[in-house]
Amino acid sequence: MTGSAAALAKRETGIIGLDRMTGGGLPAAGGALILGRPAAGKTVLTLQLVAMALARGQAAIFVSFEESREQLLRNAAAFDWGRQLNDDANFALIDARPGAGAQIAGEFDLEGLLAAVGHCVERTGAEWVIFDGIDQLLRRHRDPLLAADQVHLLSSWCEERGLTLLLTGKLDHSELAPRHLDGVEFLLSTVLVLSTRLVASRLARRFRIAKYRGSAHTTDEVPMLIDAAGVHFPYSDETDPAPSSPAPVERISTGVDRLDEVLGGGLYRGSTTLISGKPGTAKTTLCGSFAAAAAARGEKVLFLSFDELQAPVTRNLATVGVDLNAPIRDGLVSFHAREAWSSLLEEHYFAIRRAVDQERPHCVVVDPASALFKVPGGEAAKVTVERLLSAFRKRGITTILTSLGSQDDPVSEATLSHASTLADTWLVLGFNVTAGERNRSISVVKSRGSSHSNQVRELMLSGDGIDLADVYEYGSEVLMGTARLQKQNEETFAGRLKALADAQRKRELEHQIQLSEAEAERLRLELAAQEQERATREAISDRYQLEVLQRRHSATLRSDRSSTGADPKTQRKSQK
């Protein structure tokens, strides 16, 4: 029992999710009403509460108004805790079914029942009292108000004695008012409502705390599961450890060296990676490679495969050099195949969480996580995936999710778009179709905390393993496959032709240079000769002019002497 004198005293139920939603359990003294339609799980829940109380050494009285002792014990035996109810001195099971053909002749009360229960409480020291299906008796009241008064009396009786009283009642079409017990929901401080609905023809159970006076509590309607272990509240049962701080900086391999290089050394431990792509783009192959690499490091891997069985997955991986059979045999890889359509979303969630708790893996693969969107109740898949990722992250698990896109969906990469916002790394696989050939491609859309190329690369699968091809850019395209090889050859050939042409051209130019240089030399010689000729010609011309002048002068002197009779030698000196 928990709580202080001032606070409402509570009694733990032992069902983690229920204790969490009720803030510590049900009232330690007084009544709680559990309402629900048939098959909602009212009796199972109360029997489980009794079994868990007995397991803790507490005592309980179970009064059944609908089923016989044998029926109840037989039903309980279908659960793991069923044996707890057999031959336990702390347990009294009272068959209080009204006799067949019982008639009514006026008002009645439950004083006799309380006398019997009081006797059993005294004998066993019980803390729990359960009245299952009491409406079967109280509905015989002519006046419904009398039935409600009887319930109030029971609650007060238990409260005075410090007993936790659980009453189950049936719901009709109303949300809260129990059938045959009108108004009783107002008299009790705690009302729990179990409901059922059909989701894609599958029965889905829901739980809600409609009322819990004096106590903080979860008001949400949450899924409730019933399996061999009994009642579970899958989204409330789990206890997650505090996330590790600081974030790990260790890199772990994807199993593909070239991909590790592209990612800056591999994936961060504890990170989440989303691999999206259409069918056949090698998502599962990359998952297998990652799992095999983790196993090779001695780490445990939980491989959750939706819609594909272990044998074909491992066979297909073997064809590309990835061996998962050995690590599965060694217990390092735990392969869980699940059929998406076969369970409700909360059942898948619960199974995955339970597998994680059992296996305690270092790495988890969910392939494809997008399968959760097609399960019954898949509208809540988004939240479910987020819950899983959050749980894995807190446990330091390195996670790879795959998202299967549709061939017809051009934006198929966005199938798990919300998960991509949570993922640390997002790899997109696709096909590159050129020249009638389809080749796989891979690109890193994001990788938090890592410098990475945004280049689309070719993802190559062969018997030797998985590899990425070097980027081959051709204009604005990245060529892959045969087109890449063909283009590489064409480029090489064209390069060689160009080199030959360049050499030829060079030789031609060098030859022309030689010719030109020879011509220039010839012209220089010609010029020099011309210059020499010109100088000679000018010298001759000068001499000729001088001679002409001399002759003219001589003629002039002769003429003068003939006219004056002066000495010609003297006249030549004066002319100079």
Partner 1 sequence: MSMGVEARSESRPRLILFVTGDAPRSLRAKANLAETLERLGIDPADVVEIDLTADPTQTLVYGIFATPALLRPKESGRSEILYGDLSEQKALERFLTLG
Angle at the Cα of 264 (from 367 to 397), degrees rounded to 5?
Answer: 40
CB nearer to partner 1: pick between 98 and 243: 98
Kindly give the residue spans of alpha helices, DSSP state H, lying in 423-480. none
* Closer residue to partner 1, CB minimum distance, 153 or 355: 153
Question: Considering beta carbons, is residue 136 or 276 the nearer one to partner 1?
Answer: 136
What does the alpha-carbon distance between residue 110 and residue 219 come to, in Å, rounded to a whole number? 33
Amino acid in position 421 = T
Cβ atoms of residues 164 and 29 within 8 Å: yes
Per-residue DSSP letter, 423: -
Beta strands 363-367 and 301-306: pairing type? Answer: parallel
Q: Which of 29, 54, 137, 294 binds partner 1 (CB under 8 A)?
A: 137
DSSP 433-454: EETTEEEEEEEEEEETTS----
Q: CA angle, 122 as apex, 120 and 125 as ends, to 5°? A: 95
Q: Which amino acid is at 321?
A: G
Dihedral angle computed from the Cα positions of residues 354, 355, 357 and 359, in that order, rounded to the nearest 10 degrees? 160
Does 116 sit near partner 1 (CB under 8 A)?
Answer: yes
| 115 near partner 1, rule: CB under 8 A | yes
The only residue of 37, 139, 140, 152 in contact with partner 1, by rule CB under 8 A: 140
Q: How far apart are the first and last CA of the chain?
A: 153
> For partner 1, how many residues bind (rule: CB under 8 A)?
27
Identity of residue 74 = R
Judge whether 171 and 37 are in contact, CB under 8 Å.
yes
160 touches partner 1 by CB under 8 A = no
d(CA 136, CA 186): 20
At which residue do the structure tokens 């002068």 appear?
553
Measured from the CB atom, the residue of 132 and 237 that comes closer to partner 1 is 132
Which residue number, 97 or 232, has a Cβ lying nearer to partner 1? 97
> Which CB atom, from 124 or from 420, has the smaller least distance to partner 1?
124
Nearer to partner 1, 2 or 156 (CB): 156
State which residue, 101 or 565, has the beta carbon closest to partner 1.
101
Smallest distance, partner 1 to C-beta of residue 102, A: 4
Answer yes or no whether residue 139 interacts with partner 1 by CB under 8 A: no
CB closer to partner 1, 165 vs 302: 165
Name the helix (H) or strand (E) containing 224.
strand 222-227
CB 63 → partner 1: shortest distance, Å? 8
Nearest distance in Å: CB 165, partner 1 = 15
Stretch that binds partner 1, among 115-123, 373-381, 422-430, 512-520 (CB under 8 A): 115-123
Here the tokens at position 88 are: 């336990």
Judged by CB under 8 A, does residue 574 bind partner 1? no
Q: Rounded distance, CA 318 to CA 322, Å?
A: 5
- 68 is a contact residue toward partner 1 (CB under 8 A): no
Nearer to partner 1, 17 or 169 (CB): 169
Question: Would you count residue 153 as binding partner 1 (CB under 8 A)?
Answer: no
CB 356 within 8 A of CB 395: yes
- 6-36 CB burial, b ≥16 within 10 A, e <16: eebbbbbbbbebbbbbbbbbbbbbbbbbbbb
Q: How far is the CB of 148 from partner 1 (least distance, A)?
A: 15
CB of 348 to partner 1, least distance (A): 44
The closest of 45, 27, 8, 23 to 169, measured between CA atoms, is 45
Which residue is listed with tokens 């009081």? 118
- Stretch 473-512 residues interacting with partner 1 (CB under 8 A): none
Shortest distance, CB of residue 183 to partner 1, whole angstroms? 20
**Scanning the structure block, which residue is given the tokens 């009403």?**
33
Q: Residue 180 Cβ, how far from partner 1 at the closest point, in Å?
A: 14
Q: How far is the CB of 116 from partner 1 (least distance, A)?
A: 4
Nearer to partner 1, 147 or 385 (CB): 147
Residue 411 interacting with partner 1 (CB under 8 A): no
Q: Shortest Cβ distance from residue 182 to partner 1 (Å)?
A: 19
Q: Binding to partner 1 by residue 241, rule CB under 8 A?
A: no
Distance CA 190, CA 406 (A): 48
Shortest CB 74 distance to partner 1, Å: 20
In the chain, how long is the greatest CA-to-CA distance?
200
Task: Report the chain's C-alpha Rg in angstroms.
Answer: 49
**Minimal distance, residue 143 CB to partner 1, in Å:** 12
Q: Is 445 in the site for partner 1 (CB under 8 A)?
A: no
Listed ranges 93-101, 375-383, 401-409, 538-546: which one lies at the site for partner 1 (CB under 8 A): 93-101
By CB under 8 A, what part of segment 94-113 binds partner 1?
94-113
Tokens 């989701």 correspond to what residue? 199
Find the shortest distance in angstroms from Cβ 67 to partner 1: 14
State in angstroms the smallest separation of the CB of 338 from partner 1: 47
What lies within 8 Å, CB to CB, of 436 at 6+ separation is none
Closest distance to partner 1 from the beta carbon of 110 (Å) = 6
User: What are the residue ranges of helices labelled H in 125-216?
Assistant: 135-138, 144-160, 184-187
Query: Does 125 interact with partner 1 (rule: CB under 8 A)?
Result: no
Nearer to partner 1, 63 or 371 (CB): 63
The yes or no reply on residue 246 touching partner 1 (CB under 8 A) is: no
Task: Write the binding mask 24 to 63 for partner 1: x where contact by CB under 8 A, - elsewhere.
Answer: ---------------------------------------x
Measure Cα distances from 120 to 67, 114, 127, 130 in Å.
Answer: 19, 10, 11, 12
**CA distance linking residue 85 with residue 130, whole number of Å:** 14
Binding site for partner 1 (CB under 8 A): 63, 94-113, 115-116, 118-119, 137, 140
